[in-house]
Amino acid sequence: MGREAAEGRARSAEGRATGAEAATEHAGNSGRIPGENSAVESAEDSVDRHIARWTGKVPFDVPTEAVITRIQLLAKHVSHGKERALAETGLQAFEFETMHRLASRGAPWRAPSAELAAELLLSPAGMTGRLDTLEKSGLVRRLRAAADRRRVDVELTEEGHRRWLDAMRWRGVAEHEMIEPLDDGERAALAALLKRMLLAVETR
């Protein structure tokens, strides 16, 4: 999918948002277009069909199956959105992953090579090979640390930081498309519910 197509999707999303705002204002204080929720809730998605196909064939709790299966499918869509973002910027996943770690540190987007390798779960040889590729593409540079000449620091170049920002922007477009059907209150409520679920798993 080319950049023009993705930008067209972003413009379409903006147009839909503008239209929705106008309709919402017309609808009054409810914040929703009359009948919008009922129409969406009555529509059938792939999980409804999945549940119908398996009902009576295997024991399962329908609400649990509905929640978990939808989370799994949404996670796949998030992954596809990330892949689209990389395709738009011409980056490979390992390149973005390495640049993302560096960018998280803030300007000058620098980290010791050994520390970066540990975060990325790479061997010294694997890290060297990855940095060779990134440096050849002009996305990172390697520097000898002033305090310890044995230490090699890795730093994003201006071009590397620009490409990383571009990928992040395209990821934002994909994420906006997914969350767009929910208003601010619904997004906050969903975030709180998912946090409760995640905390229960992480604190076991």
Of the pLDDT bands very low, low, confident and very high (cuts 50, 70, 90), residue 18 is very low
Q: Between 14 and 129, where is the model more confident?
A: 129
Average pLDDT over residues 27-48: 63
Q: What are phi and psi of 140, to 5 degrees?
A: -135, 165
Count each helix (H run) and each strand (E run) in the chain, helices first. Answer: 9, 3
168-202 burial by CB neighbour count: b if 16+ within 10 A, else e? eebbebbeebeeeeeeeeeeeeeeeeeeeeeeeee
Of 120, 158, 160, which Cα lies nearest the Cα of 137?
A: 160
How do residues 53-78 score in pLDDT, each as one tens digit?
999 899 999 999 999 999 999 999 99
Task: For residue 32, give both structure tokens.
Answer: 């929703």
Of the pLDDT bands very low, low, confident and very high (cuts 50, 70, 90), residue 1 is very low
State the pLDDT at residue 39.
Answer: 60
Of 116, 151, 147, 146, which Cα lies nearest the Cα of 131?
A: 116
125 pLDDT higher than 60: yes
Average pLDDT over residues 37-50: 80
Of 70, 129, 130, which Cα lies nearest the Cα of 99?
A: 130
Q: Exposed (0-12), middle (13-18) or buried (19+): which is 103, by Cβ within 10 Å?
A: middle
Name the pTM for this structure. Answer: 0.69
3-state secondary structure 169-196: HHHHHHHHHHHCCCCHHHHHHHHHHHHH
